[in-house]
Amino acid sequence: MVHNKESESEPAVYRYTRTASAVLTHLVCIVFTVCIALLSRPGSSLFSWHPVFMTLPYSSSPPTAPSSKDFHTRLKGRAHWILQCLCVSCLVLGLAAISYNKHLNGKPHFTSWHGLLGLLTVCVVGLQSMGAVPLIYHSLAKGWSLAKLKRYHATSGLVTYLLCSVSLLLGLCSAWFTASVGEYTWYLSALCPALSALVIMNQVTSAYMAKKRLQY
């Protein structure tokens, strides 16, 4: 049975609320990154580059709910892919900074949950970025519809974003951060990745569920 798209379209208040929450999430992530940068004072030590490079990708390109009314979709997709490549570069630099710092100080590598999950997250982000290639060059994915590829890419992107959020939360539990901030500041900082992850999860799932309903 084919339903009228007009009746299935969501109310304008939902769209405005989603847009407002997306803007707020961007602002929260930017403020969070600036605070981490001020706290770590990049350049003061080799370790100082690790929190900066690791939080910069998180704030620069949080995913937002897709919209069929957006124009220049292909251009925006390529810009998103370029930003993802820059994010991977930052993550690799952050990983290199902490690894070399541990090497210089004779400390073991990847012995904490933050270190193990952080390494996994960097690898997953790299794979997620490579997954955009079939979307840009659809001819490489024969037998797969563009809609299905976008749905899988959005789902994997959501999982990747959640991994980044958990990794950041574990980083906030590190001895360096807990010793640098007070108790109330710590809870406020922990709310930033937690709330942004919830907003992104709601936006992505709601958008693709709505799009799927329109197809029937």
Domains of the chain: 5-214 (1.20.120.1770)
Q: Which residue has 């709310």 as its token pair? A: 191
What residues contact residue 18 under an 8 Å CB cut-off, 6+ apart? Answer: 65, 203, 206, 207
With 0-12 / 13-18 / 19 or more C-beta atoms within 10 angstroms meaning exposed / middle / buried, residue 168 is buried
Rounded Cα distance, 35 and 30, in Å: 9
pTM of the predicted model as reported, rounded to 2 decimal places? 0.82
Write out the chain's pLDDT in tens, 216 residues: 444 444 445 677 777 777 787 788 888 888 999 999 999 999 999 999 999 999 998 776 555 544 444 445 667 767 777 888 889 999 999 999 999 999 999 999 999 999 999 999 999 998 888 887 887 787 887 888 888 888 888 888 889 989 999 999 999 999 999 999 999 999 999 998 898 888 888 877 777 655 554 454
